[in-house]
Amino acid sequence: RLARTFDAMIDKIDDSFKRQRQFTNDASHELRTPIAVIQSQAESALNFSHSEDEYRSALATILSEARHMGKLVSDLLFLARSDSRAEKLHMEELNFGELVEGIVAVLKPIAQDNGIDLKVIENGDFIVRGDQTHLTQLLYNIIDNAIKYTLPGGEIKISIEKKGEFVKTSVRDTGIGIPEEHLPHIFERFYRVDKARSRENGGTGLGLSICQWIVSAHGGKIEVFSEVGKGSTFVIWLPSL
Ligand code: ADP
């Protein structure tokens, strides 16, 4: 019996090493792409003569790839800190409704620019114990995704309600939706349904895995429901005060 327990432990450690190797591989690959683009654009700009417009376009590409790398590196650092338990939460009493309103105020103009109506439905006060920076990042990622994956004319509705010991926040969009076979994987690191589309939107494929870490570090959970062509709903459960 002891031998079996021991085998199970070894398997678990082995699995965790495999996952870590995969992650390092994926991360290196993801970083290599923008580096290659920056290098080739800079080389071409230096070695051949171009019109001013061509130089500008090369610089614009370099800038956008550099920004993408910056985002990738900060997401990777976040996950590295969470893996090594170095990422600490600074818990305080928070008015969750106000936090949501604040983020919506920042994202509403972006939604509007994309022809999307973004609104919040809440009644009452929802107090949670949480880390403000982390919860801001969590909500920002989920609402930003809803904007990215919704077409003009669409709508995003955020509702907050108290359910037993939890504050339940639903972010419902009328976007492109997620095929059923992908749903169990979207919280995995670097998992994207459509890589080209994610990249076009400046995505790293790490946002949802960061969200999942934040939610579980708060003792909550995150769920997703989706139908292709109809939209997606992300539900965040956080322990209420
Ligand atoms: P990304 O940076 O690619 O957006 P995320 O980790 O935030 O990475 O999300 C993983 C994948 O889940 C996305 O690439 C996309 O395919 C899918 N996804 C996330 N949110 C939505 C949404 N609201 N509607 C449709 N697909 C979504």
> What phi, psi does 108 have (nearest 5°)?
-60, -45
By C-alpha distance, which of 19, 119, 35 is closest to 73?
35
State yes or no: pLDDT of 81 exceeds 90: yes
Calculate the average pLDDT of the chain: 95
Q: What is the pLDDT of residues 153-173, one digit of tens each?
A: 999 999 999 999 999 999 999
Split at pLDDT 50, 70, 90, the class of 213 is: very high
Mean pLDDT of 203-224: 97
The model's confidence at residue 16, banded by pLDDT at 50, 70 and 90, is confident
**pLDDT per residue as tens digits for the range 43-62:** 999 999 989 999 999 999 99
pLDDT at 2: 85
Provide the pLDDT for residue 1. Answer: 81
Distance 185 CA to ligand 1 centre (A): 11
CA–centroid distance, 33 to ligand 1, in Å, is: 20
Rounded CA-CA distance 91/44 in Å is: 50
Cβ atoms of 207 and 149 closer than 8 Å? no
> Residue 83 and residue 103: Cα distance in Å, rounded?
27
Q: Which amino acid is at 192?
A: R
> What pLDDT, on a 0 to 100 scale, did the predictor assign at position 201?
85
Of 23, 178, 211, the one to substitute when testing ligand 1's pocket (max ligand atoms within 8 A of C-beta) is: 178
| 231 exposure class (CB count in 10 Å sphere: 0-12, 13-18, 19+) | buried
| HEC profile of 54-123 | HHHHHHHHHHHHHHHHHHHHHHHHHHHHHHCCCCCCCEEEEEHHHHHHHHHHHHHHHHHHCCCEEEEEEC
Residue nearest to atom 2 of ligand 1 (CA): 203
Strands 117-122 vs 155-163: parallel, antiparallel or unpaired: parallel
Task: Using alpha carbons, list the distances in angstroms from residue 97 to 112, 200, 218.
Answer: 21, 31, 17
Contact 208, 189 (CB under 8 A): no
Residue nearest to atom 19 of ligand 1 (CA): 145
Mean pLDDT computed over 99-104: 96
CA 85/CA 181 separation, integer angstroms: 32
129-to-38, 88, 167, 214, 221 alpha-carbon distances in Å: 43, 14, 11, 13, 15
For ligand 1, mutation pick of 79, 208, 224 (most atoms within 8 Å of CB): 208
Mutation test of ligand 1: which of 198, 201, 213 has the most ligand atoms closer than 8 Å to its C-beta? 198
104 Cα–ligand 1 center, Å: 19
